[in-house]
Amino acid sequence: MTEDRLLKELARVAREQQAKEPDPRWDDLAAGRLAPEEVERLREEARRSPEAAAAWELFQPLDAGFQREVVAQAQRGLQAEAPRAAPSRRARRLWLAPALAAAALLVVVVRGNRAPVLPSYDLRLDGAVRVERSARPEDTATVPEFAPGNRFELRLTPATSAGDDVDAQAFVLRDGRLEPLSAPPPARSSDGAVRFLGVVGQDVQLPAGSFRLLVAVGRRGSLPGGEVLRERLALGSPIKEDRWIGWTVDLRTAPAP
């Protein structure tokens, strides 16, 4: 079977499968349109259900060239599992459907909804009352210190326009505990710039003492969960994937006067 014929067969099976069990959330996840809270719901479903776990892996946003690999794997699978006797058209359709339905959905979504790779971003943090050198002798970095009443402004600016289909999230890591940053939702501009803004102790709540901020910006529906971000950033910061970028930022909060 040629690649074009296989893709047509995949698309047909996808339409049949969607007509039986439509769930637009998976399409939205692959296309980067799913809101972060819906992504988390699908992630929870994937933890509880083997079928959802398989769909979670299949519908993750893809790297370039994955479509060719899907086709190649499907062809190899068909050659390995094909019946020895030539099947009828009806039998062949029934035989193809279970093996190709998930791949078909993925190929169709990728062909029609693939978002461009995320450009590089610059992270800038403003509003600290002072900046101190790290207490660790081997660390030459400086640590911003905030006090209650300080302006807190975290800006993520793309090197080139990223469009408006981006989102961002931030987590506070302290004493091994990871929690979402308590702050107003980030504002986005049409070129993909993102800004967290607020006043420390009022609409931005920071823990006292030293802590670490984990920050990620990416295509909508592509941001990693907090624990995944934590694991990836443990290997170094920043980290750049095709569809998201992550950073760690060490901070301190001064006690209230």
Question: What pLDDT, in 10s, does the model give residues 45-85?
Answer: 877 776 677 677 667 665 444 455 555 555 555 555 555 55
- The answer to whether residues 153 and 108 belong to one domain is no
pTM greater than 0.85 (yes/no): no
Q: Last residue of some domain: 113, 141, 165? A: 113
Q: Please report where in the chains the tokens 């592509």 appear, as a residue.
A: 222
Instruction: Work out the percent of the chain whose per-residue pLDDT is above 90.
Output: 40
**Angstrom distance (rounded) from CA 190 to CA 162:** 8
Of residues 200 and 135, which shows the higher confidence score?
200
- The answer to whether residues 145 and 90 belong to one domain is no
CA 38-221-123 angle, to 5 degrees, is: 125
Work out how many domains the chain is built from and give that number: 2
- The answer to whether residues 136 and 212 belong to one domain is yes
Domain residues for the domain of 239 are 121-253
- The answer to whether residues 146 and 91 belong to one domain is no
